[in-house]
Chain A
Amino acid sequence: MIIFKIALRNLREHTAKTLIIGVLIAVGVFFLVAGNSFMDTITAGMRITYIDNYTGELIVHGKAKGTFSLFGIMGPEMANAKIPEIEQFEQLEALLASSELVSDVNPLATGAASIGIGEESAGFSFLWGIEPSQYFTMFPDNIILHEGTRLPPGEKGIMLSQNNKDKIREETNRTIHAGDKLQLSGMNAVSGTRIREVTVWGIFSYRQTSPQLERVSLVDIKTLRELSGMDVGEIEEAQLSETEQALLGEIEENNIFGSSLISTTSPQNEGFTNFETILAAEALEITEAGKENNAWHFLLLKTINDRAATEITNTLNDYFLENDLDLEVSNWRWGAGFTADMAYSLQIVFNIIIIVIFIVALIVIMNTLVISITERIPEIGTIRAMGGQKSFVRLMITTETLVITALFGTAGVLLGSIFIWILNMTGIEATNMFFRVLFGGDVLKPGLSANSIVSALAAVGILGAAASLYPVSVALKISPVRAMQKGI
Chain B
Amino acid sequence: MAIISLHDVTKDYPLGKTVVHALKGVSCEIQRGEFITIAGPSGSGKSTILNMIGCIDTPSSGNVKINGTDTSALSDKSLTQLRHQVLGFIFQSFNLIPVLNVYENIEFPLLIGKNGMHPSEKKTWINTLIREVGLDSWKTHRPSELSGGQRQRVAIARALATRPEIVLADEPTANLDSETGETIINLMKKMNHEFKTTFIFSTHDNMIVEIADHVIRLKDGIITENSRKKKTGVAV
Contact = CB atoms under 8 A, between A and B. Distances in A.
Q: Do A and B bind each other?
A: yes
Q: Which of A388, A392, A484 has the most CB of B within 10 A?
A: A484
Contacts, number: 100
A479 B99 contact: no
A244 B98 CA distance: 104
Q: Which of B50, B54, B84, B95 has the most CB of A within 10 A?
A: B95
A488 B56 contact: no
Nearest to B158: A386
A120 interface: no
Interface residues of B, number: 38
Contacts of A10: 99
Contact of B104 (A2, A386, A481, A487): A2
Contact of B93 (A13, A479, A486): A486
B111 A2 contact: yes
Interface string B99-137: 110001001110111000000000000000000000000
Contacts of B76: 390
Contacts of A392: 112-113
Given A2-B108, A384-B80, A386-B108, A487 B100 contact: no
A334 B3 CA distance: 79
B84 A488 contact: no
A225 to B, nearest CB: 79
A470 B225 CA distance: 47
Contact of B83 (A13, A386, A487): A386
B47 interface: yes
Nearest to B82: A387
Q: Which label, helix, strand, loop or mixed, suits the secondary structure of the B interface?
A: mixed
B225 to A, nearest CB: 23
Nearest to B112: A388
Interface residues of A, number: 28
Given A13-B99, A386-B83, A388-B80, A5 B112 contact: no
Given A385-B54, A386-B109, A389-B113, A484 B81 contact: no
Contacts of B192: none
Given A2-B111, A386-B112, A387-B113, A481 B57 contact: yes
A480 B107 CA distance: 19
Interface string B127-170: 00000000000000001000000000000001000100000001
B95 A483 contact: yes
Contacts of B104: 2, 5
Given A385-B54, A387-B113, A379 B80 contact: no
Nearest to B96: A488
Contacts of B112: 2, 383, 386-389, 392
Contacts of B109: 386-387
A314 B165 CA distance: 71
Nearest to A382: B95
A416 interface: no
Contacts of B143: 488
Contacts of B54: 385
Nearest to A486: B93
A349 interface: no
Contacts of B50: 484
11 contacts: A2-B107, A6-B99, A383-B97, A385-B89, A386-B84, A387-B112, A388-B80, A388-B112, A483-B56, A484-B47, A488-B98
Q: Which 4 A-B pairs have the closest CB atoms?
A: A487-B93, A387-B84, A9-B99, A480-B56
Interface of B: 47, 50-51, 54, 56-57, 76-77, 80-81, 83-85, 87-89, 91-100, 104, 107-109, 111-113, 143, 158, 162, 170, 175
